[in-house]
Every structure is written in C-alpha cells, then in structure tokens.
Amino acid sequence: MAEIFDNAHALLIGVGKDLPFTVDDAKAFEEVFTDPLKAAYNPKNVNLVAEEGATKQGIVDGFDRLITDTDENSTVVVYYSGHGAVTQSGDTFLLVPHNYDPMDFKTWVMADEFSEKISQIKAKKMVVLLDACHSQGMSKSVDNMTAPTKPVSKNVRTLASELSKGSGRAILSSCEDNELSWKLPGDKNSLFTKTILEAMQGMHLREPEEKFVDMLQIIRYVFKQVPERSKTVGQNNEKKQHPFVNSMTNLSSDGFPICFLPEGVRKSISPPVQKSNDLLQQEKKGIERNVSLLLRKIEFMEGKELMLSDPAQLFTVQEQILELKDKHAEFKRRIDTILGYI
C-alpha cells in the first residue's frame, strides 16, 4: 500500500471564465497532489475550487475548511490562479472570483480578506502560489505575440506583500511587475505551473535519492527554469518572466518537505560508508562550521534584499539567497544522518 504524506493539505483555486487554462492548472495540481505514487496527499485533504465553484463564497469556504482541518504541524499549499485588480486609487487590491460583479466590490475578494484567512491558518509550513493577473489591456499587451498570456498588475509585488501581512508565510508569484505570465505554445499548463509540477515530480534532482521534495528546491528550480524558457516567446531571445518570493526571510533556511518524491523516480538510497564515531564527529564539526558561515552569508544577503527596489537586482539576490538556503538545508540533512549513526 502506498504511503500517504501525512497531515498535508492543499487549497487549489482556478477561477476560469475568460481564463480557462487557470482551471487546467488547478486540476493539474490536484492530479499530482492526490496521486498515491506522486505527491501522495490524502485526497480528502485536497480541495479543488474551480470554475462555477470559485465564487467568493466558495473561496471563503475553502479557506474556512483549511482553518478547521489544519494545525501547527500541518503542511499547507494554497494555489490561486485567476485575475487580480487594483482600485483606481491604487490602495486596494482585489482577487476576482468566478461570479464577480464589476460594479460591486463586495463580490470580489479583497486582499486583506485573503490575508486574514491565511493568517488564521496555524500551519508553520505553508506556501502560497500566486498567479494573479490584471485584466485591463489584455489584447494591447500581446498584439505581436503568439502565446497566451496573463497580464499582471504593475502592483503585483505590493499585492503579494499585502497577502502575506501578519502571516509570516512565503508567497511565490509567477512573474514580476509589468511582466506576463506565459503559457507556451503546445503546453496545457502555464509555464509557472508546469515548472512547479516538474519539480514536485523530481525533475530538479540529478540524483533523486531523497524521499521528499523540499520547498526550497522547488523555488530554486522555478527561478531557474521560468526565465530561461520564457526566452522562446516572441521575436527576441530575452528572458520575459521572472518569478519572485515576497520575502526570503519568510523561507526557513532549513527548508521543509512539501510532498513525497514519486516512487517511480526515487533511486534506492545506498547505505553510508561505514565510519568510526570519531570520523563522524569530525565530519559533523566541519559541517557545523560551514553552517555557521552560511547563516552569516544568508543574514547579510537578506539585509541586502531589503535595501533593493530594482526588480532585476532583487531577482539576482533572491537567486543567491535560495542557493545558500538550499545548501544550508542540505548540510542540516547530512548532520541529521550522521546523528543517526553516532
């Protein structure tokens, strides 16, 4: 019998309507999360809220179910794919449900409502995957392009910040201000979703000898793959899409497993070479010195991140922080392994 990834929950929102592939994206996540040979979440803990079900009340009910069913030891993934908008004054951000009335903001999901629901979820291991776009000017932005896009608001960073207020959770968004979230020709899913699903299925690993997929590993893979593949869109060879995390300080340096690595991908883990306790202790001390150096580097880079406003510089620094944190998590896993043999 396949093993279940215990106490893990997912809320998957695909609004649909004039963006039908947002439903395909949410359903693709559902398929991977509930497959016992892939991510292996308990199907009863995976809530797909899509199309006609993705009303404001349907989204609120989905959050209320998460709040009720999870605790501080839970792993939680929230995925939203659909339109986002900003009021004319620029101070209120909105997510657009399936049945919204453009003349009545009460039918929209305010960012602070979204944020409030997130803050009520007790889970310490939580990530929000945000693919929210701004609906105005869609055709104008893509007159000379051949691939479907989801144009984003110029305030997408602010939107991500609003959604994470009071929660301390990481928000991973599909693209930067004034960029487009691409769906490449021939693909069923958006580039953002496709790369996350690839990482969840082990494509980020050269030697897949681990049992779990770590969130830091997923983000590093998405940061690398999305900009590179977006070069294939349009006439020039420039990178056209850059995902971002609202704040690297919200990502633990230890990382956390988000799901199982698919059974068919895992290689059997070779037993460690036998070493004496003295040699293992020496190795452990050496790794601990490296960990201490890494933590100082991470602290310095996170301070640098807070001082930057240029998106290109932010992306570069966030890539560097992700690499450092992933290495730190790798060192911590090795220390845990050594402790099991001392």
Residue 231, domain CATH: 3.40.50.1460
Domain that holds residue 176: 8-260
Is residue 97 domain-shared with residue 212, that is, in the same domain?
yes
Is residue 239 domain-shared with residue 125, that is, in the same domain?
yes
Domain assignment of residue 240, yes or no: yes
Measure the CA angle with vertex 47, ends 46 and 52; round to 5°: 155
**Cα–Cα distance measured from residue 119 to residue 163, given in angstroms and rounded to the nearest whole number:** 9
Report the pLDDT value the prediction gives residue 47, as an integer from 0 to 100.
98
Is residue 33 domain-shared with residue 90, that is, in the same domain?
yes
Tokens of 153: 């608001």
Is residue 190 domain-shared with residue 93, that is, in the same domain?
yes
CA nearest to 314, candidates 296, 328, 324, 302: 302
Domain assignment of residue 3, yes or no: no
* Mean pLDDT across 54-80: 95
> To the nearest 5 percent, what fractions of the chain are helix, strand and coil?
45, 20, 40
Q: What is the DSSP string of 224-269?
A: HHHHHHHTTSSSS-------EES-GGGS-TT--EEEEPPTTTPPPP
CA nearest to 13, candidates 93, 81, 84: 81
Report the pLDDT value the prediction gives residue 207, as an integer from 0 to 100.
56
Domain assignment of residue 314, yes or no: yes
Is residue 49 domain-shared with residue 188, that is, in the same domain?
yes
The residue among 226, 260, 294 that closes a domain is 260
Which helix (DSSP H) or strand (DSSP E) does residue 153 occupy? none
247 band by pLDDT with thresholds 50, 70 and 90? low
Q: What does pTM read for this prediction?
A: 0.77
* Mean pLDDT across 173-201: 87
146 band by pLDDT with thresholds 50, 70 and 90? very low
For the chain, how many structural domains are there in total?
2
CA nearest to 170, candidates 126, 110, 135: 126
Measure the CA angle with vertex 10, ends 5 and 13; round to 5°: 155
Per-residue pLDDT tens digits for 104-115: 878 888 878 888
pLDDT exceeds cutoff 50 at 152: no
**β 8-14/75-86 pair status:** parallel
